[in-house]
Structure 1
Amino acid sequence: MHTARLRLTPIGPHLADELYRLHADPGIARWYGTWTRADAQARAAAIGRGWAAEGAGKWLAHHRESGELIGRGGLSYQDVDGARRLELGWAVREVHWGRGYATEIGRAGLEYAFETLGAGEVLSYTEVHNLRSRAVMERLGFTYRREIRRGGEPFAFYRLSARAW
C-alpha cells in the first residue's frame, strides 16, 4: 500500500529486524518501552499471524523516495469493553515528529478499515498525557469518548464511526 509519501508494508517475521530498529528509537521507546530482538521477533510473528488470520495488522512505513524507515502503524483487534474491536495506532521515529506522518499512516489505516474491511467503527487510544497522538486522532476525525484503564494506566479513548468517515 502507498500513500503520498510512504510505502506501507505488512509486518511479518521477515521484518523483525526493522521492527527492532524502529523500537530502539528514543521517541518510540519512551511510549512502548525498550524491546529486545526476541520481543521484536515475537511481535513481528504475531502481527504476521494477524494479517493471515484477520486481514488486518500493522505496517512498517518507509519513505517512498528515500526508503528511510519512518515508523509503523495500522490496525489490530483489541478487547475493549468486553468486545473484540478494531483499533488504529501508529508510532513515528522522533526525528520525523511534526511532519504529518502519523496522520498519513492513520488515514491509510482508516481507509483500509472502512473501505477494505467494511468496519462499522474504529477505536484509538493513547496515554492521557500523549497530547501529540491525541491531536492526530482529532485531526483524523475521532471523537473523545472517555478515559479507560489499560494495564492499570489511564488512557484517552477515541472512536470514529464509518458514517462519520
Structure 2
Amino acid sequence: MLKRTLSHGDAKVINATIRRLPLSCVMPLMKHLTLSLASSGSGKGDGTANIPLVKWIKALLHIHASYLATFPELVEKLQKMYNIVENRVAQVGSFTRLQGRLDLTLSQIARQKDDEQGAEASAALLTLQDESSGDEMMDELDMMMVHSESEDGYLSADEDDLVK
C-alpha cells in the first residue's frame, strides 16, 4: 500500500499527505524513501519511476525541515541519499556526452551519404548524352561559327558554299 501511495506524483496530494504525517513517521518515511531510491537504480527502465519518489523526498524535506534539523544524525542519514543523487547526476553527464557523440556520428554518416548520392546524381547528369542531341549541338555550333565569321565579312569560297 505504501509503494502504491508513493507512486503518485501529484504535488497537491503529496503535500497534503506530508503535512498530515505525524512527526514520529517522518524519519521512518525518510529511510524508506532513501532505500526505495537506492533500489530503483538497478538499471531497469528509463528512470521516470523515480520522479514521484523525488517529489516525495522534496516535499518531506521542505515541509518538515525544522523537525528534521533537530536530529544530529540527519547529515549522516541524508549522506546516503546525497551520494545516490550525485552518482545519478554524474551518470547523466556521461550519458549526455555519449548521446552527443552518437548524434554527431550519425549526422556525419547522413551527410556523407547525402554527399555520395549528390555526387552520383551530378555525375550522371554530366555523363548522360544522347547521340542525336550531340550531332544537333555540333551542327548548331558550326552554324554559329559560320554566322559570326560572316558578320566580319571574311568567308572563304568553301565557307560561302556551306552557308548556301
What is the TM-score when the length of structure 1 is the normalising length?
Answer: 0.27
Question: Which structure shows the bigger proportion of residues in helix conformation?
Answer: 2
Q: Which has the larger radius of gyration?
A: 2
